[in-house]
Amino acid sequence: MKILLLLVITLTFPAFAQDSIVLGVHSKTAPLEWRNNGVDQGFNIELMDRIGQLTNKRILVRRKSFQQLVQDVYNPNSDIDVIVVVSPVNMDRKLAQSDPIYATHAKAYTLQGKGLINSWADLIGKRVAIKKGAFVDVFLSDHLQNFDRVDVDLYETGFQLLIKNQVDVVIAESFVARRLLPLYPSVRSSSDALIYGAFNFVANESKTELMYQINEALRQLKLSGEYDRLVNKWFGTGREKVDLTSSEKRMFALAILVAIISAIGMIFTGLISASLRRHTKALDAELIQRRRIEAEISELSKQFQSVLDGIPNGVTIVNQDLQHLWSNDNNIHLLDSAAFYYIDNHAFVLKTAVLEVLSSQTPLIAEMRYQQQFWQLQIHPIAEKQVVILLEETTEQHRLRQANEEVSRLASLGELSAGIAHEINNPTGLIVHAVSLFTAALKDLTPAARHYQQQNPFWLIAGLPPDVAIEELQYSCGSIEEGAKRISRIVNDLKRYAMPHIADQYARVSLNDVVQVAQRLTANQTKVHQISMRLCQPSPIIKGDAQQLHQVLINLIQNACHACTEQHGEIIIETRIAGNTAILSIIDNGCGMSSATLKRITEPFFTTRRNEGGSGLGLSVCSKIIKEHQGEMQMQSSLGKGTQISLIFALEQHT
């Protein structure tokens, strides 16, 4: 039985066994080979994985130094089967070598300010760093060297020697150099391509049969188009490849910027606190003076009783039992109303307030609310068991104070925005003008580039084929222009918020037309959400500026999109008529807002999306536009349930 079981295992084992190819890697450069979170990835590794699938071989990755891999590939007994290296064009290494995988080149790099290297003759007498075993080293083995050669283990070592002035020139492969240049800002590219090469799979001569299988699989991938897909994935234009060092530097710079903004905010807060303390002292002085005057009035109250009877403010004298000893009956009913409460929403109880004043012999002065009115309540002790109660309506003063604060804030913001606009618009205009010139120049240079490429098929621009490089430059010009326009829009929003209102000649505007235009302009953002429009027929008509109303509705729709999750977001836009008013509502089922956020949502520069690029001016500008249209903006929101914003305007009668 045991012999039979052993025989079955022996016969079936080959069915489960699978040959393997050990791929040696050394690079830390995206997109060729690098390790992220312990996982090896990159163009070379993914290409070899596909070759392994076609040859029915398992791919094993071994990471070693470049010099160790070069030694291993010359050793037929090494555990490394295949490595990926660059070979100069028209020069084969003395090893089994695959078809070219991807073209590259090497050129000279020097310190900023040094002369350009136009040819090999410019290297005579210079100290030149060469990576030992790299394709530059292979190329120079068959060419006479008229310079002082300095061997290095890595291109980065050569860059470090260049910074220390221990070498004059580094000849480096372009993919690695492009990753290193952001780390060494004083180093620059100082020549055109000196050596053209191509990436190849290389193996020991004893593995010729294995290289034949790799070549066959590589050709099959090229014929099927899958090779082109991999090249486009890892080397394609219009996207950036992983560069962890650059990302860390950008994040560090962003952290410094946030820290600077926080420090400025603390300084600004300190200045405001100092100003508030000065105002508090002034108010305290005013209150002391007012109390003294009120005491004098209390002493002379009997002499001016006839005058008090005629004043509109409420004056009442009560004792500790709340018996009315005298009153001019003006607004006295407020003292016993449940709707009469302190401005901080605490309930007002007359008996409690009177007893506190009598026990402390200290006047009580408080700001009160009654329905939509504001009142000032004063209770003064005038005898051992009596107080005088003064009621004065301060609704108008309260509104004037709010208006004065808003005017002061707008004046300060106007001065600030004028300075910002002057400082930002000028360089923004230069950027837009320069981008237009670059775009026009690229159109004119395209035919020349194509003509030159026909004469020199190996000519590359920044390591890319000329047509691809020009397309990338055009894409970059568009990105720069779009960024400059975004800066201009933010500056214009800031200027508009602080701009004093000029009485415009408003025209008749259809709210339904406003909704349809805004919906078209935001179609790209709303396409991932479910949009419902409930438009009243006939359309409500109001007097206003259609362009400004488009701006308001577009901003509200964008905010709703930000609040909703993709695929599950629902946004409802409706118009309706209620009496003599026209109402435009935007309803979403997004994340909603807390009561604290809702109170501050129209403040300038307040935003919950600072990290996503929000400026905090959108709803401030919207609120200003609605006020200019004599309209009202009502907001209702709950966390986790969504938000409803209603814009209410006076309905324009049909003619």
Q: What is the pLDDT of residues 130-184, one digit of tens each?
A: 998 888 888 888 788 889 999 998 888 999 999 999 999 999 988 788 888 888 9
Alpha helices in 387-465 (DSSP H): 395-455
Please say whether the beta carbons of 324 and 318 come within 8 A: yes
What letter represents residue 537's amino acid? Q
Measured distance CA(489)–CA(491) in Å, rounded: 5
Q: What percent of the chain has pLDDT over 90?
A: 11
Q: What is the pLDDT of residue 492?
A: 65
pLDDT for 64 beyond 50: yes
Least confident span in 397-401, 446-450, 526-530, 543-547: 397-401
* pLDDT band, residue 297 (cuts 50/70/90): confident
- The amino acid sitting at 599 is K
> Distance between CA 104 and CA 549 in Å, rounded?
55
Tokens of 484: 């400059």
Q: Which residues pair with 125 in a beta bridge?
A: none
Q: What is the pLDDT of residues 460-485, one digit of tens each?
A: 887 788 888 888 888 888 878 777 77
Pairing of strands 127-131, 169-173: parallel
Question: pLDDT digit string (tens) for 329-387?
Answer: 677 778 888 888 888 888 888 888 888 888 888 898 988 888 878 888 899 998 778 88
Q: For residue 10, is pLDDT > 50? A: no
Is the pLDDT at 655 greater than 60, yes or no?
no
Band the pLDDT of 648: cuts 50, 70, 90.
very high
* Residue 87 banded pLDDT, cuts 50, 70, 90: confident
| Amino acid found at 5 | L
pLDDT of residue 416: 67
Residue 21 — pLDDT band, cuts 50, 70, 90? very high
Question: pLDDT, tens digit, for every residue of 93-120?
Answer: 778 888 888 888 999 999 998 889 988 8
In sequence order, the 6+-apart residues with CB closer than 8 A to the CB of 621 are 493, 496, 497, 551, 555
Structural contact between residues 129 and 163, judged by C-beta atoms closer than 8 angstroms: no
Report the DSSP beta bridge partners of residue 388: 317, 380
Predicted local confidence at residue 419, as pLDDT: 67
At residue 495, the pLDDT reads 61
Query: pTM, whole model, 2 decimals?
Result: 0.36
Which are the contacts of 489, defined by CB distance < 8 A and separation ≥ 6? Answer: none
Could you report how far apart the first and last alpha carbons of the chain are, in Å? 105
| pLDDT score for 127 | 94
Question: Which position has the higher pLDDT, 113 or 7?
Answer: 113
CB-neighbour burial class of residue 424 (10 A; exposed 0-12, middle 13-18, buried 19+): middle
Other beta carbons within 10 Å of 423: 11
d(CA 8, CA 252): 63
Digit-coded pLDDT (tens) for 386-425: 888 888 888 888 777 776 666 556 556 656 666 676 677 7
**pLDDT digits over 231-251, tens only?**
888 877 433 444 444 555 666
**Residue given tokens 């409690």 in the structure block:** 352
Q: What pLDDT, on a 0 to 100 scale, did the predictor assign at position 16?
A: 38
Across all residues in the chain, what is the average pLDDT?
81
Distance CA 642, CA 572 (A): 11
511's enclosing H/E stretch is: helix 511-521
Q: Residue written as tokens 């920044």?
A: 462
pLDDT of residue 151: 92
Tokens encoding 8: 């079955």
**Beta strands at 127-131 and 314-319: parallel, antiparallel or unpaired:** unpaired
How far, in Å, CA of 242 to CA of 244, rounded?
Answer: 6
pLDDT at position 406 is: 61
Longest alpha-carbon distance in the chain:
130
**Higher pLDDT residue, 315 or 566?**
315
> Tens digits of per-residue pLDDT, 585-625?
999 988 888 887 777 777 766 666 655 545 545 677 888 88
